[in-house]
Structure 1
Amino acid sequence: MEISNMLSNKLIFLNENFDSTSELFDFVGTKTKELDLSYDDYAVNLKKREENFPTALEFNDIGVAIPHADSKSLKKEFISLITLDKPLIFRAMENPDKEVKVKIVFVLGLLKANDQLETLQAIVKLLQKENALEHLNHANNVKEVVNIVNEL
């Protein structure tokens, strides 16, 4: 699963501000619905999934979240990438009691469950590349983000 093939320029949002993860998920739900990629319940299902199965990871002191919801909320596959001007608190994937200040969010809209692991591995591979997170975090435009992702 190539991230670059799934990442739509229309779903890359840079230096966004949200007061909560709920607000972020509502934003993504609205944008994906406008693009006819998801159904009305997508944001609600993202929130439920994140509450039960946290998705935050830390790489070199930069928090990254990779939320996703069941495919029943989706019409088409996508990946959305959002960088945050100010961090949002997510719970850690490996320890739900731990809070992670997240600056980069990859929202996965995958139709097949078996694609999730492969896509997560590809994202983690990208995040482990030296300076990739710093470059994503400081990207000023969509073209920069696409170039970073394409370097995989």
Structure 2
Amino acid sequence: MSEKIAIKPELVIPDLVAADSQDAIRQLGETLVSAGYAKGSYVDVVLEREKSYPTGIEFPLCGVAMPHGEPDDVLGAAIAIGRCANPVPFKRMEDFSQEVDVRLVAMLAVADPAGHLDVLGKLIAAFSDEETCAALLSSDDPAAIAKIVDDAINGGE
């Protein structure tokens, strides 16, 4: 991975209240846009991509979604994280006809395609680790949540 991914407390919504997956994506996307990591078009691109390539995955402790868009709409590498106050249904990555109740959403803005795959792999490893996932689910502190994800992605650099 060539660039460090920004994972900051201001990109964390610890009690994300979303009506549906589109609302969750919109809220997290606007966080990335407001913080200067993505163009205004990013949210619509992610919403459109999610229709064809859904990102909901069931992990040992909870459902997770990792929506993302295209590098053209990214201004800087970052991840916005939402911990859903109530589970939000997302279409399953492996079976579009089914849904998974998602508790954690990690929305990626990564400009480097190779780095994008690296980040996804590290996120999958983090969400697969029950201790890491439990810490994300139990913390109400945006700084603590950001640090957990930063340690998993950037090695705490």
Same fold (TM over 0.5): yes
Partner Cα distance (1:94, 1:124) in 2? 14
TM-score (norm 1): 0.90
Give 1:143 deviation, angstroms.
2.7
TM-score (norm 2): 0.87
- Name the structure 2 match of 1:6: 6
- Name the structure 1 match of 2:85: 85
- Name the structure 1 match of 2:96: 96
- Would you say the 8 A contact 2:29–2:80 is kept in 1? no
Whichever residue aligns with residue 67 of structure 1, its letter is P
Partner Cα distance (1:150, 1:79) in 2? 9
More displaced 10-residue stretch of structure 1: 90-99 or 4-13: 4-13
Task: Name the one with the larger strand percent.
Answer: 1
Whichever residue aligns with residue 95 of structure 2, its letter is N
- Would you say the 8 A contact 2:31–2:80 is kept in 1? no
Partner Cα distance (2:150, 2:50) in 1? 28
- Name the structure 1 match of 2:15: 15
Give 1:95 deviation, angstroms.
1.3
Partner Cα distance (1:111, 1:151) in 2? 20
Whichever residue aligns with residue 17 of structure 1, its letter is V
Give 1:108 deviation, angstroms.
0.5
> Quick one: percent identity of the two aligned structures?
21
- Name the structure 2 match of 1:55: 55
More displaced 10-residue stretch of structure 1: 99-108 or 113-122: 113-122
Structural RMSD (CA):
2.0
Give 1:75 deviation, angstroms.
1.2
Gapped regions of structure 1 (runs ≥ 5): none
Shift in alpha-carbon separation, 1:136–1:45, aligned structure 2, 3 A: same
Deviation string 1:23-72 (CA, Å, 9 cap, x unpaired) is 22222232222222211211111101111101111111410000000111
Give 1:151 deviation, angstroms.
5.0
Shift in alpha-carbon separation, 1:28–1:115, aligned structure 2, 3 A: same
- Name the structure 2 match of 1:70: 70
Gapped regions of structure 2 (runs ≥ 5): 153-157
Partner Cα distance (1:61, 1:127) in 2? 8
* Number of equivalences: 152
